[in-house]
């Protein structure tokens, strides 16, 4: 199949990207891959589970992708370093001064090889592939690199959640430890959350500034769970698709099909999705953490209508 358009879910972690991807990918024209940027980091992690419950090497989808990638997957450390040169925040110097042409060609070939391997496992009628890698410091420029360096068609869904809710989630522990067993604290969680939330959302606005309006759409997590019908109608207009079936599935509390997602939170393993605001932070977040958020993030918070 020809290159599909990439739906890139941008924003900060803990904002509901796994939930959004599950809903979008229940459409017959869309397939979700999860946080695709981490694929090359999993080459030496044989126990990492796809959302289908199987290890990647035994998964009906990813095993084929890995086989198509061959040595690119087995010897991934060099290519992962190449990714970071184009996708991580320190690459800002390269974007301002210009990329090394040889490395640019190598990066383009790498991304195209990964996408080709994925497309070989997909039916021809698919229109979109979802990459929910978001835009944290290691993926700050990833959607721009996919679009401007690799010349892929990229449509960004900028998913925003109240940063105080993100900080509260981060204070509870890392996704990886919560998934595997006892939680462990994230060092300087509130400060990292406040700074990370700001820069992850700024990265999405950088993409917005560099692309036509038709390639960028911003939604709020709170609106997705409170008014999923209206939010999916907005996304339907953006993607030129009809999500009435997805609205019906949510209204009747049907199970949303599980995908072959890598990365994301524990929600990717659950058969039943429950739309929840997760507003515990409103009563449990400490005053000092609230003040820290407003001190660092108030401009974007007001733009997104968080008060």
Residue boundaries of the structural domains of the chain: 5-162+213-274
Average the pLDDT over 173-197 and give the result. Answer: 74
What average pLDDT does the segment 57-82 reach?
Answer: 92
When pLDDT is averaged across residues 45-73 and rounded to a whole number, the result is 92
pLDDT in tens, 280-306: 999 999 999 999 999 999 999 999 999
Q: Give the pairing type, strands 5-10 and 154-160.
A: parallel
Please state the rounded mean pLDDT for residues 148-165. Answer: 97
pLDDT at 174 > cutoff 70: no
Note the pLDDT tens digit of each residue in 32-43. 999 999 999 998
Which pLDDT belongs to residue 1? Answer: 63
Quickly state the pLDDT bin for 250 (edges 50, 70, 90): very high
How confident is the model at residue 178, as a pLDDT?
47
Can you give the pTM of this predicted structure? 0.94
- Res 217: pLDDT: 98
pLDDT of residue 191: 96
How confident is the model at residue 183, as a pLDDT?
52
What mean pLDDT value characterizes the chain? 92
pLDDT for residue 273 is more than 80? no
Quick one: pLDDT at residue 202? 98
- The tens digit of pLDDT for each residue in 82-131 reads 999 999 999 999 999 988 999 999 999 999 999 999 999 998 889 999 99
**Highest CATH level, class, for 5-162+213-274:** alpha beta
Residues 2-29, buried b or exposed e (16+ Cβ, 10 A)? eebbbbbbbbbbbbbbbbbbbbbbbbee
Q: What's the rounded mean pLDDT across residues 44-71?
A: 92
Least confident of 45-49, 66-70, 130-134, 178-182: 178-182
């Amino acid at each position: 199949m020809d290159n599909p358009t990439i739906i890139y879910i941008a924003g900060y972690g803990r904002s509901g990207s796994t939930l959004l991807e599950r809903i979008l990918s229940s459409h017959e024209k869309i397939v979700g891959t999860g946080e695709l940027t981490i694929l090359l980091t999993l080459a030496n992690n044989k126990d990492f589970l796809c959302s289908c419950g199987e290890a990647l090497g035994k998964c009906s989808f990813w095993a084929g992708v890995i086989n198509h990638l061959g040595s690119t997957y087995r010897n991934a450390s060099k290519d992962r370093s190449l990714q970071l040169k184009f996708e991580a925040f320190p690459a800002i110097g390269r974007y301002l001064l210009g990329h090394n042409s040889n490395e640019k060609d190598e990066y383009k070939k790498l991304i195209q090889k990964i996408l080709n391997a994925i497309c070989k496992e997909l039916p021809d009628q698919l229109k979109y592939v979802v990459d929910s890698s978001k835009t944290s410091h290691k993926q700050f420029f990833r959607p721009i690199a996919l679009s401007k360096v690799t010349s892929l068609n990229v449509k960004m869904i900028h998913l925003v959640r109240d940063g105080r809710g993100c900080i509260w989630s981060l204070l509870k522990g890392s996704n990886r430890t919560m998934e595997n067993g006892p939680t462990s604290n994230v060092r300087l969680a509130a400060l990292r959350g406040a700074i990370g939330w700001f820069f992850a959302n700024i990265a999405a606005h950088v993409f917005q500034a560099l692309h036509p309006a038709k390639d960028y759409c911003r939604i709020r997590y709170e609106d997705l769970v409170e008014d999923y019908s209206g939010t999916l109608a907005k996304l339907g207009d953006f993607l030129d698709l009809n999500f009435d079936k997805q609205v019906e599935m949510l209204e009747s509390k049907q199970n949303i099909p599980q995908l072959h997602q890598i990365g994301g939170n524990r929600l990717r393993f659950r058969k039943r999705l429950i739309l929840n605001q997760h507003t515990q932070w409103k009563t449990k977040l400490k005053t000092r953490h609230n003040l820290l958020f407003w001190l660092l993030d108030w401009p974007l918070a007001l733009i997104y209508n968080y008060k």
